[in-house]
Amino acid sequence: MVKITGPGSPPPPPSLDQSQGVEKTGGKEFADKIDKTTGPAAAQGAQSARSTAPTGQPLTGDLGARLERGEITADAAVDQVVEKVLDRAVGPDAPAQTRGEVETALRGALETDPNLAKKVKSLHD
């Protein structure tokens, strides 16, 4: 499809071949870069990053054990996880408005996302 432009139209953007500072990568070089971001080592690093807090402690800590022992309710466990996620995502010193907006989004996801809602429901069973 060809676009017909009239007088005074801006010039077309440069092609990738004409762009300044664009690193061309192909063949083996490209495969090597992909290998560094995928594969078992990268997957292990990603899993570790998802399941631990910045201090290296698991995000949920001993909440599961405390819940099973009846020391806390399911709602209290969810509240504590939300607080930990907030601390990790936006930081404990983030403005109250920012924390409130992120918390609202998190709690909305806990209610509307089928997988998350199922997990929260299973805590109450």
- How confident is the model at residue 118, as a pLDDT? 92
In what helix (H) or strand (E) does residue 82 lie, and over which residues does it extend?
A: helix 74-89
- How confident is the model at residue 40, as a pLDDT? 55
- How confident is the model at residue 49, as a pLDDT? 43
- How confident is the model at residue 37, as a pLDDT? 55
Residue position matching structure tokens 């997957």: 43
- How confident is the model at residue 52, as a pLDDT? 45
CA distance 28 to 34: 10
- How confident is the model at residue 60, as a pLDDT? 72
- Listed by start position, the domains of the chain span 43-124
CA distance 83 to 92: 9
* Torsion sign (Cα): 74, 76, 98, 87: negative
pTM across the whole model: 0.52
Per-residue pLDDT of the chain (125 residues; tens, 9 = 90+): 556 666 766 666 666 555 555 555 555 665 565 555 555 554 454 444 444 445 556 667 788 888 888 999 999 989 999 998 899 889 989 999 999 999 999 999 999 999 999 988 988 88
Supply the DSSP string of 13-80, one letter for each residue. PPPTTT-TTPPP--HHHHHHHHHHHSHHHHHHHHHHHHHB-TTSSBTTTTHHHHHHTTSS-HHHHHHH
CA distance 35 to 89: 28
